[in-house]
Structure 1
């Protein structure tokens, strides 16, 4: 048998494979253990055979391993595989659905990340979780001190300044036991602050050492965090035919509900990478705040847009434009060209 295409259902310890020949006939179905499945695929299929997997945890690692063995690897988003999975779900059916989905000519595939991209992505994910933990810690402190009649300020920076004052004052009603607990919570908050700062320093170092991230920081509203997040998420951007495809994949283009020749555009779709989308919108909001002091074409464009629509609409539109410009810079290796920004 000569396999033309193999679908692989990834798991923790047991991998299910489904292979078809040139006549689209299923000729290889196997349930393989984690430590032997790569060897089994290498023995059953020739180099150049297509191997498809869902883009889930560990998929990029296995994709690189298969590419090193000469296979052509295709990663598919799980939501695109689901319509091709037969009824009565099982691992074998999932592998069959993956094998069928990857054969569709209109199927969209997920680009395989390099080790460097995954390193940057890991830094961002750890930082995001630490920021969430820090916010939760601040909210916990606010809720606890409220039981003692103390109102905590809203901003985290003000809360950091308020806690030492509460600990020093003897007439605010705090018991000795709770003062000890509050001191420990304060130390936890300071520890989280230090960890977040360490990771932000690492992100800044990455943004200085990566040529693509350095170029992306020429864009208005793009700093080290956004630049490195874009590099980790989209790489060289060759998987997108144009900038609109990139902005659509980030959920920055309008969703559509059209029927019977009547076109109806809704709000942005909010599909794809929510983290990168939120960063781009926040960067656009920061740029909009300072646009009034600038006289370039992009600043005039976004100010006019904000004047005739809601400022949030202008921020999302600017984020969309930033994503498109980022695609052009990554795809063609060019610098930011202000004259073309508002074209």
Structure 2
């Protein structure tokens, strides 16, 4: 008796599904047509129409915390990257404003971002500090960097070109 009930309970959802669908003859076989089905079994998720316009990057020793903002300065993404992962992220992202705190490693990221079509801004740390909303952590710092970059009067440091002396090898420095 319990086997019969379990089979019936297993077939009830299928029977309900078949009652609300139209059938069409496709390739010589009768198939249900879900396109004209009056009941939606699964709701499609609404696609995000907002795009990221500002990318704030907090630079650490081995990890880079990223926070992206849309046109209305709402957070759209918080993620951690390695240096190579960040480069791949910037390559696959449409042109946006990329902001970091001004430091030695920020110039490399700024040059890479500009080579991919982004607008790189290096912000002094003392100006970013005022935009940290909560306790100090890497995600809060990245969000503060992104928010500070959206301000039209925020001063930024120009991205330095690569120094030819650092690009050469130590053997060339010694004249060998």
Name the TM-score, length of structure 2 as normaliser.
0.63
Which of residues 23, 31, 51 in structure 1 aligns to 2:80?
A: 31
1:46 aligns with 2:109: no
How many angstroms does 1:31 deviate by? 1.0
Q: Report matched runs for 1:209-288 at 5 Å.
A: none
Select 1:19's aligned residue among 68, 72, 75.
68
Q: Does residue 68 of structure 1 match 2:86?
A: no
Over alpha carbons, which structure has the higher Rg?
Answer: 2
State the distance in 1 between where 2:165 and 2:142 align.
29
What is the CA RMSD across the aligned residues, in angstroms? 1.8
1:119 Cα shift? 4.2
Write out the 4+ residue segments of structure 1 that deviate beyond 2 Å after TM superposition: none
Q: Which has the higher contact order (CA 8 A, sep 6+)?
A: 2
Give the drift of 1:42: 2.6
1:106 equivalent to 2:171? Answer no
- Identify unmatched segments of 5+ residues in structure 1: 121-198, 200-343
**Corresponding residue SS for 1:87:** coil
Whether 1:55 and 2:102 are equivalent positions in the alignment is yes
The CA deviation string for residues 49-82 of structure 1, in whole angstroms up to 9 with x for no partner, is 1000000121111111111111100000111110
Distance 1:16 1:64 in 2: 18
- Alpha-carbon distance in 2 for matches of 1:73, 1:22: 17
Q: Distance in 2 between matches of 1:115 and 1:33?
A: 21
Aligned partners of 2:64 and 2:82 also within 8 Å: yes
In 1, Cα distance between the equivalents of 2:124 and 2:73? 22
CA distance in 1 between partners of 2:159 and 2:148 (Å): 18
Higher helix share: 1
Is contact 2:73–2:147 with CA below 8 Å preserved after alignment? no
Q: Distance in 2 between matches of 1:112 and 1:99?
A: 17
Query: Are the equivalent residues in 2 in contact too, given 1:9–1:16 (CA < 8 A)?
Result: yes
Whether contact under 8 Å (2:90, 2:113) holds in the other structure is no
Contact 1:3 1:22 in 2 (8 A): yes
Unaligned runs of 5+ in 2: 1-49, 167-172
**Aligned equivalent of 2:125:** 78
Indicate yes or no: 2:122 matched with 1:93: no
Q: 1: CA distance between counterparts of 2:97 and 2:152?
A: 14
Contact map agreement 1:8 1:51 (CA 8 A) in 2: yes
Query: Equivalent residue of 2:98, what SS?
Result: strand
- TM-score in terms of structure 1 length: 0.33
